[in-house]
């Protein structure tokens, strides 16, 4: 029997059997049978013409048919139906045709059915990828809104806290004046405790303001000539006391390029280095070593800060530069500024990255991993572009040539910042 005649003979049997086995329920059977009839007609056309393009429209419809709920599930619905359809077709041909006719028919249609399966899998995959991209887009939008809310909250909270803190600072300094001449030693020591608390609070509020300036691309730089060696000398002096307290060693190595004049905001760069070195002290046990070195690269000065501390796991190496990058390790929060593993609010490295990037530079960390016993250590790399004129890379990007002036209230007024930009 010719292949076409076999196909004609099998049509009603095929439609009834496939529908019975594969329709999801009575309710959908009529619609499903209609689809099967359409498929069978196109299959016949394909056999006659030898051109699989006849099947493309129905395969396209099937491949793009999955519903939202199907897409939520991991299994590939239509491909599964087509796969079963191929096995059932082989059974039906075997049951209802002579062996020779069955073989002839299957030799003609199995390659077509296999091709159809491949096409449907591709369409179904495309539909699924489009669905996932859409979902991802909406999750990203939600995350962006959350991040904006977080940023707004930080900004409002910091400004609200600043006013009462200024009042407390004022009254405390009056009290300090009052007890200055008194004999009450205990009162003086209580007031010094209050002062330390105020300074820490001021530091946290300043950090919160800096983070919100960076988040909103409002960090302005006061670009002046500067020398890296000068910043590193200030650092060496500033950290003498904490380094001695922790019995650590701080090596500051002179490197090619450290004496070169570059343009940048020395106060902000000092703040950035200060954060990284405070961390190096904090996350290195007593008697450890911190080494500051660097090198001159084409167009850049690289500064490296290496410690012999607990190191950072590969997963955390990028996260620590995000705000609150401490990853919820509340056990590490401490009141000691340089205490071993005394984690802070997790804003330091995010501000540091913001400052370096506003200068057109970049910062990253290298570490073999986190290990409190083996102490693999970490190396922070800071790459700063060598600018020969006082242009402000980010401000030019955002505001053209009309650089906005930083207002008094936005200036964080860091403690211990350098005031003199001349080389040492
Ligand atoms: P924090 O206020 O917690 O110190 P930072 O933004 O300065 O916040 O640092 C984020 C986190 O990065 C720290 O909590 C710490 O887990 C990790 N980290 C930073 N510097 C080092 C370092 N030198 N060695 C090990 N871990 C570090």
pLDDT value at position 92? Answer: 95
Rounded Cα gap, residues 266 and 414, in angstroms: 12
pLDDT tops 50 at residue 146: yes
pLDDT reported for residue 377: 97
Residue 199 has pLDDT above 60, yes or no: yes
Q: Is the pTM of this model over 0.75?
A: no
Within 10 angstroms of residue 362's Cβ, the number of other Cβ atoms is: 15
Q: In whole angstroms, what is the distance from residue 188 CA to residue 179 CA?
A: 7
Measured distance CA(129)–CA(125) in Å, rounded: 6
Lowest mean pLDDT among 192-201, 223-232, 300-309: 192-201
Picking from 75-84, 163-172, 299-308, which range would have the lowest pLDDT averaged per residue? 75-84
To test the pocket of ligand 1, the residue of 349, 367, 368, 382 to mutate (highest count of ligand atoms within 8 Å of its CB) is 349
| pLDDT value of position 67 | 64
- pLDDT of amino acid 410: 40
User: Does 352 score more than 80 pLDDT?
Assistant: yes
Residue 103: per-residue pLDDT: 94
Q: How many CB atoms lie within 10 A of CB 130?
A: 12
The residue nearest atom 8 of ligand 1, judged by CA position, is: 346
Where residue 242 falls among pLDDT bands split at 50, 70, 90?
very high
Per-residue pLDDT at 378 exceeds 90 = yes
Instruction: Classify each residue of 194-221 as buried b or exposed e, where b means 16 or more C-beta atoms within 10 Å of its C-beta.
Output: eeeebeebbbbbbbbbbbbbbbeeebbb
- Decide if 207 contacts 249 (C-beta within 8 A): no
Mutate which of 274, 279, 354 to test ligand 1's pocket (most atoms within 8 Å of Cβ)? 279
CA atoms 339, 341, 345, 351: torsion sign: positive
What structural domains does the chain harbor? 1-218 (no CATH), 224-399 (3.30.565.10)
Q: How far is the CA of 414 from the centre of ligand 1 (A)?
A: 20
Burial class (CB in 10 A: 0-12, 13-18, 19+), 420: exposed
- List the residue whose alpha carbon is closest to atom 18 of ligand 1: 279
């Amino acid at each position: 029997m010719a292949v076409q005649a076999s196909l004609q003979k099998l049509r009603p049997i095929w439609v009834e059997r496939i529908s019975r086995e594969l329709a999801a329920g009575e309710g959908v059977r009529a619609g499903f049978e209609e689809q099967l009839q359409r498929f069978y007609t196109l299959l016949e056309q394909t056999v006659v013409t030898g051109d699989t393009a006849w099947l493309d429209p129905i395969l396209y419809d099937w491949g793009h048919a999955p519903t939202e709920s199907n897409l939520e599930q991991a299994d590939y619905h239509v491909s599964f139906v087509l796969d079963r359809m191929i096995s059932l077709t082989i059974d039906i041909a075997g049951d209802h045709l002579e062996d020779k006719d069955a073989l002839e028919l299957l030799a003609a249609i199995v390659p077509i059915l296999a091709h159809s399966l491949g096409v449907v899998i591709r369409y179904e995959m495309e539909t699924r990828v489009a669905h996932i991209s859409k979902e991802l887009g909406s999750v990203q939008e939600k995350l962006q809104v959350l991040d904006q809310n977080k940023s707004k909250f930080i900004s409002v909270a910091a400004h609200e806290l600043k006013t009462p803190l200024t009042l407390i600072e004022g009254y405390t300094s009056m009290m300090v004046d009052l007890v200055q001449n008194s004999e009450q030693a205990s009162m003086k020591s209580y007031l010094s405790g209050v002062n330390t608390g105020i300074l820490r609070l001021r530091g946290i509020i300043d950090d919160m303001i800096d983070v919100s300036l960076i988040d909103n691309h409002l960090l302005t730089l006061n670009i002046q000539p500067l020398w890296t060696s000068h910043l590193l000398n200030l650092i060496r002096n500033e950290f003498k006391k904490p380094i001695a307290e922790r019995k650590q060693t701080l090596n500051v190595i002179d490197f090619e390029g450290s004496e070169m004049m570059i343009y940048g905001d020395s106060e902000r760069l000092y703040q950035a280095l200060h954060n990284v070195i405070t961390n190096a002290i904090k996350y290195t046990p007593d008697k450890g070593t911190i080494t500051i070195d660097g090198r001159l690269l084409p167009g850049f000065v690289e500064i490296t800060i290496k410690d012999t501390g607990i190191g950072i796991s590969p997963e955390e190496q990028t996260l620590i530069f995000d705000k609150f990058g401490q990853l919820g390790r509340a056990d590490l929060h401490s009141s000691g500024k340089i205490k071993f593993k005394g984690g802070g609010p997790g804003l330091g490295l995010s501000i540091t990255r913001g400052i370096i990037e506003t200068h057109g530079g970049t910062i990253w960390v290298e570490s073999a991993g986190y290990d409190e016993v083996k102490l693999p250590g970490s190396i922070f790399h800071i790459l700063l572009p060598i600018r020969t004129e006082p242009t402000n890379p980010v401000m030019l990007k955002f505001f053209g040539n009309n650089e906005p002036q930083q207002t008094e209230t936005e200036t964080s007024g860091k403690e211990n910042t350098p005031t003199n930009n001349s080389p040492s």
